[in-house]
Structure 1
Amino acid sequence: MIDQQHLQALTDIKRLMERSSRFISLSGLSGIFAGMSGLGGALIAHNWLTEYYDRWNVSGVYSHTDFITLKYRLILLGCCVMTAALIGGSFFTWRKARKNNLPIWGLTARKVLINIAIPLGAGGAFIAGLLYNHLESLVAPTCLVFYGLSLINASKYTLNDVRYLGICETVLGIVNLFYLRKGLYFWGIGFGVLHIVYGVLMWWKYERKSAI
């Protein structure tokens, strides 16, 4: 009986230490929602690109105006997808934290945000430079690499599963460098499929029992 009490006490201490040192309110549903947003954005972008190249093939004349219009539409689409993913992720994370009586905004959450923001900020500036120098084909792999590095950087303050997602995103971005004309497909896999797989695994591992 005493051994069981000691074991329970150690378990409680471990849980308290984990809550104070790691942000554990991430929801698998956040990953699924982000993945669905990414796939939806990739599908829209694919349709726009198909229409653009169809017009080019029919006319046989390159239109710089059409290219610039497509470029800014794709940038706006990317921002919209990112915003939707952030809003959905914040909602599901807030819901999980509230359900488990955990703080949604504290020192650990700020550490996660800072460690994600630094590589993402650098990546955003790098991508802006690529667009300025008309190196659009490098945008997709750069997004994947910097996003993966940001997840790896922040994973020490949250669940280890985030590190594995970050490694997969980084590797996928590096592979994409050797297939630059397939950037949209790699983007869809990285921000769509990988997020959905990650979200399902997270939900199954951490949230399934509480949902039953």
Structure 2
Amino acid sequence: MKEQDYIRDIAEIRSMMERSSKFLSLYGGSGILAGIYALAGAYIAVYIFNFNPDQISYETNSSGSIVLLGLTVLALALGSAIYLSFRKAQKRGEKIWNTVSKRLMVHMAAPLVAGGFLILILMFKNLVGLVAPISLLFYGIALFNAGIFTYKEVKALGLFQILLGLLGCYFVEYGLFLWALGFGILHIFYGIYLYYKYER
């Protein structure tokens, strides 16, 4: 057997091991779409609902609309990610719901659920200025956890989201801008990077 054959066999074994331990069905296009949804949501919040808290305690008459808007953005982003990941898995002849994807979901769920309840508490207490940075913070923790089970870039994206969340907690007046930067711009760049690195 030639040296090239050994190298090819080793590469195939490594690929099989990676597929069995990593969730590689994430599609870069879902990151781009999530970013677009987030930017559209931020625009609607500011220019239609006049929502742009400049301090931690913030009285607003549009709390219900903001929650609905946030849930809509979340549903669109999750729906796109699941659908596009499912299509990618089908093309690769893989199952999207397997042991690795279950572990990934479990590790993401705890910070996302805790963050969601904390956001509801903050809104109930009219501490609306912290909603955007807290959502970045807990989402970043969820991504960092997920990075163990998927592309290493997800872990890096999580760290950036955590950093933006911490900045937003300190500079509350820029919270919504930092949210748009994290959920919008960073997702778009991440999606483009993922597409060109792994999917082209």
Shorter-chain TM band? over 0.9
Q: After TM superposition, give the deviation of residue 52 of structure 1 in Å.
A: 9.7
Q: What is the TM-score with the length of structure 2 in the denominator?
A: 0.93
Out of 54, 79, 92, the residue aligned to residue 87 of structure 1 is 79
The answer as to 2:111 corresponding to 1:144 is no
Return the letter of the residue paired with 1:32: I
Aligned-pair Cα RMSD in Å: 1.7
* 1:88-103 paired onto structure 2 within 5 Å: 88-103=80-95
Q: After TM superposition, give the deviation of residue 48 of structure 1 in Å.
A: 2.5
Q: After TM superposition, give the deviation of residue 7 of structure 1 in Å.
A: 1.1
Give, in whole Å, the separation in 2 of the partners of 1:132 and 1:74: 13
Deviation track 1:107-152 (CA, whole Å, cap 9, x = no partner) reads 0000111111111011112112212221110111100000000000
Gaps of 5+ in 1: 54-63
Return the letter of the residue paired with 2:9: A
Deviation track 1:134-192 (CA, whole Å, cap 9, x = no partner) reads 11101111000000000001110111010010001000111111211222111111111
Give, in whole Å, the separation in 2 of the partners of 1:93 and 1:119: 22
Return the letter of the residue paired with 1:147: Y
Give, in whole Å, the separation in 2 of the partners of 1:154 and 1:192: 19
Which segments of structure 1 move beyond 6 Å, counting only runs of 4 or more?
none
* 1:127-166 paired onto structure 2 within 5 Å: 127-166=119-158
Count of aligned pairs: 195
Q: What is the TM-score with the length of structure 1 in the denominator?
A: 0.88
Partner of 1:110: 102
Gaps of 5+ in 2: 54-58
Partner of 1:56: none
* 1:68-79 paired onto structure 2 within 5 Å: 68=61, 70-79=62-71
Partner of 1:44: 44
Give, in whole Å, the separation in 2 of the partners of 1:22 and 1:3: 28
Partner of 1:167: 159
Give, in whole Å, the separation in 2 of the partners of 1:51 and 1:146: 21
Structure of larger gyration radius: 1
Q: Secondary structure at the match of 1:50?
A: coil
Quick check: 85-94 or 144-153, which moved more?
Answer: 85-94
Deviation track 1:46-102 (CA, whole Å, cap 9, x = no partner) reads 11343899xxxxxxxxxx7xx33x111001000000000011111111111111222
Return the letter of the residue paired with 1:135: L
1:130–1:50 distance in 2 versus 1, CA, 3 Å: closer
How many percent identity over aligned positions?
Answer: 38
Quick check: 29-38 or 99-108, which moved more?
Answer: 99-108
Q: After TM superposition, give the deviation of residue 2 of structure 1 in Å.
A: 2.0
Give, in whole Å, the separation in 2 of the partners of 1:106 and 1:52: 41
Partner of 2:3: 3
Give, in whole Å, the separation in 1 of the partners of 2:67 and 2:174: 17
